[in-house]
A and B are shown apart, each in its own frame.
Chain A
Amino acid sequence: KAGVTQTPRYLIKTRGQQVTLSCSPISGHRSVSWYQQTPGQGLQFLFEYFSETQRNKGNFPGRFSGRQFSNSRSEMNVSTLELGDSALYLCASSLDQGSDTQYFGPGTRLTVL
């Protein structure tokens, strides 16, 4: 069974631009969560989607948004990029709602210049 895939793996943007990252969960998984990982703040939860609905949201500004499609694939968008948005963005999928094992993708490394 294929794991969680994220595209692109690397991305370089400049301040003020916007970016869209994509995540394809493991087949059959309906929940997708997004995390931001930085050296200073570690891994921080962004949001979680289940059956196209956002069920949980972390403490990030409104510039960070996401969505989930009917096939469970998810995208996250960051608008008006700031230098501090440079990070590894990870998505994780799980089988069902509630507390279930999450499987992480390899991440998208975003660099904002």
Chain B
Amino acid sequence: TQLLEQSPQFLSIQEGENLTVYCNSSSVFSSLQWYRQEPGEGPVLLVTVVTGGEVKKLKRLTFQFGDARKDSSLHITAAQPGDTGLYLCAGDGGYNKLIFGAGTRLAVHP
């Protein structure tokens, strides 16, 4: 069974701080995706990482896929209140089945 463990579960920080969210598995995934979900909405895709060792940057967000394609991280630099939300990692389980981590609930305070 493919599982994704996400940590930390909760994160409460001040504006301007940096943070890292981790997503780990004992299984190899062909790709990993990161989503952000706000209350009352569905998850919105931030990035997809496919190649082991890949690093992708999206403004202040940096995503990394582990060399063995079993883990990934999301690093946010100088967090802003607008970054508040639920961050979810998801692995490709085949035939459009996504296997989600439990999520990291981030609160950024002004």
Does chain A bind chain B?
A: yes
Residues of B in contact (CB 8 Å), total 25
B65 at the interface (CB under 8 A from A): no
Please report B residues at the A interface, Cβ cutoff 8 Å: 30-31, 33, 35, 40-45, 48, 88, 90, 92-103
Classify the interface of chain A: helix, strand, loop or mixed.
strand
Assess whether B40 is in contact with A98, with CB atoms less than 8 Å apart.
no
Please report A residues at the B interface, Cβ cutoff 8 Å: 4, 31, 33, 35, 42-45, 48, 50, 55-56, 58, 90, 92, 94, 97-107
CB distance from A88 to the nearest CB of B (A): 9
Q: Which residues of A contact B31 (CB under 8 A)?
A: 99
Q: Which residues of A contact B90 (CB under 8 A)?
A: 43
CB distance from A84 to the nearest CB of B (A): 18
Q: Which residues of A contact B35 (CB under 8 A)?
A: 104
- Beyond A90-B42, A102-B45, A106-B40, whether A42 also contacts B101 by CB under 8 A is yes
